[in-house]
Structures are given as structure tokens and as C-alpha cells.
Amino acid sequence: MNAVHSTNIEIATRDGTADAYLAHPDSVRPYPAVLLYMDAFGLRPHLKKMADRLAAGGYTVLAPNVFYRHGRAPVIDLPDFVGPAERAELFQRLSPVIMSLTPEMAMRDADAYLRWLAECPMVQDGPVGVTGYCMGAGLAMRTAGAYPDRVAATAGFHGANLASAAPDSPHLLADRIKAELYFGHADRDRALPPEQIERLNEALAAAGVRHRCEVYAGAEHGFTQADTAAYDAEAAERHWAALLGLFARTL
């Protein structure tokens, strides 16, 4: 694994300035780029550690604060550890922020993030990888659909509402996607029930998208997030193997 250098940066978007975290191997040569979308709890120490681990695998990783319109990260005060009691109260405060980020806004921002990576001297030429967690899994899939020529691989873990009945559900973008996709679902996840998993698989298969969808037995929504009670160490390590394997063969 590579030693990692990291820094906080700012990215100009069409709607303002997004604060972000950049991690890359501590080397002068460029590396493949990865755009990492946060979960609802946002850009915080644990998510930065995840970006660092991914960067150590040989990638330049950009993790933006997708809620930047509401302030710099963290947009609300977060405890060091999110348990069941804290989770309900935090989501009550975060829900208006989450709902305010429309798909159109998010994809305008994605364009800015991808352009920034394309111009970054620490990024090698070529399409990027995208990964996301919880709400970030939907953002990752939307990015693959909105910018198919810029995205080579996309992963999503414990994603929420990826194939809902909404008219703008992410799965409806399947026929635009050129990237290879991987999804790691939690089997104890009310945010993505079995019927949505089936609908997602059917949409990807019908569109001819290279993909693999796996259900992690016994895992809860948020199983990759070590600063929450949902964390599952075994499932999290399985996620790392799948994610690094995807990027190794595509980027």
C-alpha cells in the first residue's frame, strides 16, 4: 500500500464553492481518479479515513461535501459515534438538507467535480471511478448515467431508494450507463427492500450494463461506517475487496 498525502480543498461549482477532501498516494506521478460520495452524515473523520484507505490502493480520491449549499462540513454537529438514539435525532435535522439536494443540483455539481479531477495534475488521463454510500450510492449511479463517457466504474454500498417508484429513480438511468457497476446491498435494509433490488437488477440487465449486485447477509444499512452502530467489520472488509477489485480491472 502507498503512503498517502491528503488536504482540504475547495471546488468552484455553478452554485457556489464546495469544500472537499483530496487524498492521493504520496508521489509525484499521477494516478487514476475516484470520486467518493458521502453518506448522509457527511464529510467527517471516518469518511476521510475511507478516502485515505482507497488512495493507499493507488488512486487520487476526491470526497466532496455535497451539502455545501448549507455550509462547510460537517453541516450539523456530529457525535464521535452514532448510536440508535443519536441516529433518529440526527436524521430529523438532516432530512431537510437531504431533500433540498435535487438530482439536477447534484449532477451540476458532479460536472464540476469531474472537471476538477480532469484538470488535476495528480490525476492520470482517462475516465474515473465513482463510489458512494447510502444516499451517495444513488449519486454515484446518477453520475454514471449523466456522464457516461467520463465514468469507467461505479460502486454503491447500502444504497437507498436505488429503484423506487419515483419518476426520477436512479435505476431509470440504466440505459445511459457505460461503466461497469457493483452494488453491495445490506439484507436488513428498509431503505432498499428486496423488490427494489430485483427492479434494479432487471433494469441493469435489460440495458446490457456490466454489473454485479450482491446482498451481504446479516448486514445493516450503513455497514461500512465504523463510526456508527450499524458497522459490520466483516461486511466492510468484503466491501473493500469488491471495490478495489472493481477499480483494479477498470481504471
Q: Tell me the whole-structure pTM to 2 decimals.
A: 0.98
What residue numbers bound the domain in which 229 lies? Answer: 4-250
> Phi-psi category of 60—alpha, beta or left, where left has phi over 0 and alpha has psi -120 to 50?
beta
- 33 with 130: CB under 8 angstroms? no
What tens digit of pLDDT does each residue of 12-64 get?
999 999 999 999 999 989 999 999 999 999 999 999 999 999 999 999 999 99
Rounded mean pLDDT of the chain?
Answer: 97
What tens digit of pLDDT does each residue of 153-166 get?
999 999 999 999 99
Residues 6+ apart with CB under 8 A from 138: 132, 156, 159, 160, 161, 162, 170
Task: Print burial letters for 48-68: b (CB count within 10 Å at least 16), e (below 16).
Answer: bebbbbbbbbbbbbbbbbbbb
Which CATH number is 243's domain given?
3.40.50.1820
Tell me the C-alpha distance between 61 and 172, whole Å. Answer: 27
What average pLDDT score do residues 232-250 get? 98
**Whether pLDDT at 1 is above 90:** no
What tens digit of pLDDT does each residue of 200-228 get?
999 999 999 999 999 999 999 999 999 99
**Whether pLDDT at 78 is above 90:** yes
Number of domains in the chain: 1
CA distances from 172 to 3, 53, 132 (A): 40, 32, 18
What average pLDDT score do residues 183-202 get? 97
